[in-house]
Amino acid sequence: MKRTIQTLLLGVLLGGVQPSFSQLLASAQTTQSKDTPNKPSQKKLKEVLRELKEQYQVDILFFDRNVEGFTVMSNVVKPAAKLEQNLDAVLKPLGLKYKKSKNGGYVIIDKRAERRSEQREARFPETDLPTAPKAIGHAADQALETPFAAVPESAKTVDKIVKGKVTDAEKGEALPGVNVIIKGTQRGTVTNAEGEFSVNVADNAVVLVFSFVGYAAQEIQVGDRSQIPVLLKIDDKSLEEVVVVGYGTAKKKDLTGAVSSVNIEDTRLQPNTNAAQILRGTTAGVQVTDNGRPGQAGSIRIRGINSISASTAPLIVLDGIIYAGGNLADINPNDIESIDVLKDASSTAIYGSLATNGVIEITTKKGKSGKPKFSLNSYLGASDYAYLPNYRNAEQYLAARKDAELAEGGAVPFSVIELANIAAGKTINPFEEIKQAAPMYNYELSVSGKTDRVNYFFSGAYTGSKSPVKGDNFTRLSSRLNLGVQATDWLKIGINSGFSSRDNSGIRASLLNTSYLSPYASLFLADGVSPNPLPQSWGLVSNPILGTLLDDNKAVTNILFSNAYADVSVWKGVSYKLNAGYTRTDSKSFFYSPSYAPLNRPGSGSKRHGENQNMTLENIVKYQQRIAKNHSLDLTLLYGVYQLTSQSSFLSSQNIFNDALGYNALEIGEGFTIDASAAQNRQISSMARVGYTIASKYFFTLSMRRDGYSAFGAGKKYGVFPAAAFSWNISDEDFFRNIKKIDFLKLRASWGRNGNRGVSEYSSLSQVGQNNYVFGNGSPTSVGLSTTTLANPNLGWETTESFNVGADIQAFSKRITASVNFYSSNTFDLLLNQTIPNTNGFENFLRNIGETKNTGFELDLKTVNIQKGDFTWNTNLAFSLNRNKVVKLTGRDINKDGVEDDDIASGWFIGYPLGSNFDYVFDGIFQQGEDLSLIPGAKAGDIRFKDISGPNGVPDGKITPADRMVVNNNQAKFNLGITNIFNYKNFSLSAALNIREGGYSSNSLINPGSNFFDQANFLNTPYWTPENPINTNPRINYRNPLGYGFYQDRSFVRLQDVSLSYNVPEKWINKIKISGLQVYVSGKNLHTWTKWDGWDPEFGGGGRDPGNNGPLLKTFVGGINVSF
């Protein structure tokens, strides 16, 4: 219809000029209506080029004069062909060609020597016509954009040609391949090898747009110039990014402290169920250990371990306010906009006593677009064991039992159940027997938007996952509302709130009991349904799934975090902000174990309830002012009050005779246990921070914080924590401009002190507890109170003093971005439980004593390896090493040798790292015929140790406690995270490696003789026999009389995350009113290369029982992100 109207209208307009031509048009229209359905249509060349640009997502530039008047048959373009094949098919028949620019785009040029000077043949759709007359009126040509007539070159108006040269603004180097576009059109050119360009413009009002990869785009109005020199500056977007630095923000290039930012977009597609998982391997100096439990956050350390007894966990700050008592497992990762990690004292000192172990600043999403934007994210997947200790299978188990019998010189009997199953050929894989289906899923919907006055973000999510271990389950229902309102020109108010309900109901199968199980055990009784209490007959091994199948456990934690604020612009440069935060955590756990006849066990149950309330009130005044042309001042003042109130209650009963009501009928039982507790602590803080900038090159920061904490002694409640920092943007200096390859260089140095208050509320006071006493005169037992801890009125702050030097650099046109830090910290006045003589009725005494030291190096490196056309390859690397040692302890010198004594019982050794292993030195295995006198009672196949020392400090030919020494420690030599990101058109592939080198932990399972070798299963590790006289592991029945630790290296390389995504082109989804559609698949913990034989080498569990940790899980998910 549209083409019909155009044709008829054109005939009317042109009919007055040439009536015969009007008739010809009418004839053409008649022909078209008859023939079009059976023939392919024609399109303007300009339209075809624009369609190709959209289809292949690449720039295609051209001058209008080179493409006007051309049409192309619609069937020439082949959707499945490559772009350059389609360009050849379209352009060559028309006498045109293309040239590929250095930035991956294409420029259409006319290959003929002379420009067109006469009108081309008229091309009518589906109609063969004679050449159109040359005298078409100019007015008609301006009135309509015809699909069939080219505008004569003589009719075009080109006022002038503008030429110029594009160079790097700082280095003066010519820039080839720069796009030069006339603003508002697709007309333009690209610079040649010398950076030169030439472009035709219609008038002086034309604006030229210059753009090039790695440089900031620039717009220049032509004016009356014919020569335009253009200087392009490096695009400093990454340096202009704003990071959160505590009670404020700063541009990356202006930072004085050591702050690392996590690229959240690189982790969006990973199946992370909590915020802690985002930090794994992505940030230098941050070690995150995943405990393998669904929905749990694991542990986080920043720059090693500063304290021995006090807390080592970093401070979490959520949307600018302390997330007191919060758990990262309760924060939906998809609600997070940014994560910034504050590591040095100048960055963290403004948080004072809370930040000695570093600060993790989390900012959640806010509205960005003017109209509401809806986003839907959903994934489905499953998990499985990623790494398990290598226990013996049935064949290996029988062979080991036979060798044990030979080694013992007598029978090592099997249990009755084992014998029956051996005879029947019935075996089990214990870890498969405790296995359940392990789905994981996430459904999330969010809406966000922004108007002139209101900014809002709301989300709701339901997340769930199961471990392959029966009974280990997790679901979370979460929601978030972030609302900001510009109430007046001087007042902004808002609220950031989140709610989470986390359900960990169920009883996890016992991994300890599973590790003991024989491959010939029976987990069920003869009926195949009832769990067998003793699956191997021996009392040693209980059924690992007995409680999982029989007992009932409901565990739910609800947490509400809310922060309301009012931000007042008092006058120019001065603002006041009131922060009011409230966090409430309610946890409930209900347990019931029913009566069970095979165990002759009556019912029992319990109820536990805990409640924490954290309240924060902060008053913040800011003053920002440019003092002179190149001087600016930034002042922040704070006064805050923080309070924690907690209470808990516990009730249990035994011998419940009726299971019908379970834990809701505890009152019908016996043997009641009732417990209740309550606690409260307060902190009052004041802080001042001043930042001074000179010429955007020299940055100074000074801060002072004073904290008072109720838990410390009367004269020690307050601590003062100063900090200072300086940075120098040396690349802005004139003398640096000749260094061509470095785009940006900043040097930093900082010093500061932090405090650690990580002790319980009443640690400085003498505490009492219930105690029963029998007088011995036949009277009933009396209930009273007795002192349980000694008071210490001098208990005060543990203090960390640290120094940091670093540099931030960008080089080779921003292809390399790096941040380097060297740091050293000393923690003194440690909050240490000192062992004291028990003659005074107490075993230890909490006091400030001792010192530790940490030194380290960190490197965050980002590289653009390839950026060519539609393909890019980027690499992010996070490298860190930390060295820790104990400087001094209690000052005790029992032997009066002038050297302070180590605390061997606690594992603390002066001059050595925390986590050192103090033991005998392994020296191989005693072989047959060797002298065994070194260790009395030793046999061939036992471990031989080195004779290091004796009573007189020299070797004495005997192995005694004097031969023990620090043999190794559990600290890593270094940690490394490497992420490679590949993008090709709409596809993106990300692969992340997590690497640990070094660190030794004890793994007793290497020695089968140390723990029920004749009843339980063990790791399938080699052992010494007369026929296999190895020199690494002892005989199968080695009892380990000296308690050797059997240490193993925990080094590993892990393929941690792999994600593949595809962004569906907009032209495919616009018809269904969707603005964005992404589909993806992702995997986590896909493979681990290690020599460690225990549980996950990352947390280092080397015994049978991993405690609260679980086996490492690998997960696979497929998901979809939709925005509309």
Rounded CA gap, 268 and 1078, in Å? 11
Final residue in a domain of this structure, among 736, 769, 794: 794
pLDDT at 253 over 60: yes
Report phi then psi at 210, rounded to 5: -110, 125
- pLDDT tens for 723-748 read 999 999 999 898 888 888 898 999 99
Residue 736 identity (one-letter amino acid): F
pLDDT at 612 over 80: yes
Q: Are residues 354 and 271 in the same domain?
A: yes
Q: Are residues 277 and 329 in the same domain?
A: yes
CATH number of the domain that residue 174 is part of: 2.60.40.1120
User: Please, what sign has the CA dihedral across residues 59, 60, 61, 64?
Assistant: negative
Report phi then psi at 734, rounded to 5: -60, -40
Q: Are residues 301 and 350 in the same domain?
A: yes
Average pLDDT estimate for 199-220: 84
pLDDT at 104: 64
Residue 380 identity (one-letter amino acid): L
Question: Is 858 a domain residue?
Answer: no
Range of the domain at 311: 261-373
Q: Are residues 268 and 305 in the same domain?
A: yes
Rounded CA gap, 293 and 1073, in Å? 40
- CA distances 156 to 47, 108, 138, 200, 205, Å, are 21, 19, 10, 11, 17
DSSP 8-state assignment for residue 174: B
Q: CA 1099, 1102, 1108, 1112: dihedral to nearest 10 degrees?
A: 60
Helix (H, G, I), strand (E, B) or coil at 648: strand
Average pLDDT estimate for 636-659: 95
| Three-state secondary structure string covering 288-356 | EECCCCCCCCCEEEECCCCCCCCCCCCEEEECCEECCCCCHHHCCHHHEEEEEEECCHHHHHHHHHHCC
Rounded CA gap, 813 and 1109, in Å? 46
Q: Are residues 365 and 273 in the same domain?
A: yes
Final residue in a domain of this structure, among 373, 398, 432: 373
Question: Is 144 a domain residue?
Answer: no
Q: Are residues 286 and 183 in the same domain?
A: no
Q: State the distance between the two ends of the chain, measured CA to CA, in whole angstroms.
A: 32
Percent of the chain as helix, strand, coil, to the nearest 5: 15, 45, 40
Whose tokens are 């690209």? That residue is 190
Question: Is 1083 a domain residue?
Answer: no
Burial class (CB within 10 angstroms; exposed 0-12, middle 13-18, buried 19+) of 209 = middle
Question: Is 553 a domain residue?
Answer: no
Report phi then psi at 172, rounded to 5: 75, 10
Average pLDDT estimate for 114-125: 33
pLDDT at 59: 76
pLDDT at 38: 45
Biggest CA pair distance of the chain: 135
Both tokens of 950, joined, read 């004796």
Q: Are residues 288 and 356 in the same domain?
A: yes
Confidence band, pLDDT 50/70/90 cuts, at residue 118: very low
- pLDDT tens for 507-564 read 999 998 898 899 999 999 988 899 999 898 776 688 999 999 999 999 999 999 999 9
Identify the residue with better confidence: 182 or 378.
Answer: 378
pLDDT at 238: 53
Confidence band, pLDDT 50/70/90 cuts, at residue 285: confident
Do 592 and 607 contact (CB within 8 A), yes or no?
A: no
pLDDT at 40 over 80: no
Rounded CA gap, 1027 and 1041, in Å? 24
| Helical spans, DSSP H, in 287-438 | 345-348, 394-408, 416-424, 430-433
Q: Are residues 273 and 357 in the same domain?
A: yes
- What mean pLDDT is reported for the chain? 84
Nearest to 686, CA basis, from 215, 1066, 352: 352
Is residue 56 within a helix (H) or strand (E), and if so which, with residue range? helix 45-56
Within 8 A by CB and 6+ apart from 127, the residues are 28, 31, 32
pLDDT at 350: 81
Confidence band, pLDDT 50/70/90 cuts, at residue 51: confident
Total tally of structural domains belonging to the chain: 3
Nearest to 967, CA basis, from 1006, 925, 920, 914: 920
Nearest to 375, CA basis, from 294, 298, 442: 442
CATH number of the domain that residue 311 is part of: 2.170.130.10
DSSP 8-state assignment for residue 172: -
| Helical spans, DSSP H, in 93-243 | 138-143, 237-240
Q: Are residues 203 and 288 in the same domain?
A: no
Identify the residue with better confidence: 146 or 804.
Answer: 804
Percent pLDDT > 70 in the chain is: 88
Confidence band, pLDDT 50/70/90 cuts, at residue 117: very low
- CA distances 658 to 448, 547, 1091, Å, are 53, 18, 52
Q: Chain centroid to CA 1076: how far?
A: 24
Q: What's the pTM? A: 0.77
Do 284 and 860 contact (CB within 8 A), yes or no?
A: yes
Confidence band, pLDDT 50/70/90 cuts, at residue 150: very low
Question: Is 367 a domain residue?
Answer: yes
Rounded CA gap, 818 and 811, in Å? 9
Burial class (CB within 10 angstroms; exposed 0-12, middle 13-18, buried 19+) of 897 = exposed
Rounded CA gap, 943 and 935, in Å? 9
Burial class (CB within 10 angstroms; exposed 0-12, middle 13-18, buried 19+) of 784 = exposed
Helix (H, G, I), strand (E, B) or coil at 921: coil
Question: Is 358 a domain residue?
Answer: yes
Whole-angstrom Cα Rg for the chain: 38
Q: Are residues 304 and 365 in the same domain?
A: yes
Rounded CA gap, 435 and 161, in Å? 76
Do 798 and 709 contact (CB within 8 A), yes or no?
A: no
Burial class (CB within 10 angstroms; exposed 0-12, middle 13-18, buried 19+) of 236 = middle
Q: Are residues 280 and 314 in the same domain?
A: yes
Q: Go through the chain and tell me how many residues it has.
A: 1124
Tell me the pairing of strands 218-221 and 922-925. Answer: unpaired
- pLDDT tens for 759-782 read 888 888 888 887 777 776 666 677
pLDDT at 431 over 90: yes
Question: Is 706 a domain residue?
Answer: no
Both tokens of 944, joined, read 């031989």
Reading across the β-sheet that carries 179-182, which strands appear in turn?
Answer: 188-190, 179-182, 207-211, 218-221
Q: Are residues 269 and 360 in the same domain?
A: yes
- CA distances 1102 to 300, 922, 1050, 1109, Å, are 20, 18, 10, 12
Do 847 and 308 contact (CB within 8 A), yes or no?
A: no
Rounded CA gap, 848 and 797, in Å? 8
The count of C-alpha atoms lying within 13 angstroms of the C-alpha of 959, restricted to the half-sphere facing its C-beta, is 20
Confidence band, pLDDT 50/70/90 cuts, at residue 721: very high
Rounded CA gap, 518 and 65, in Å? 84
pLDDT at 135: 33
Do 724 and 750 contact (CB within 8 A), yes or no?
A: yes
Confidence band, pLDDT 50/70/90 cuts, at residue 143: very low
Average pLDDT estimate for 309-313: 82
Final residue in a domain of this structure, among 770, 794, 818: 794
Nearest to 69, CA basis, from 136, 168, 166: 136
Within 8 A by CB and 6+ apart from 432, the residues are none
Question: Is 883 a domain residue?
Answer: no
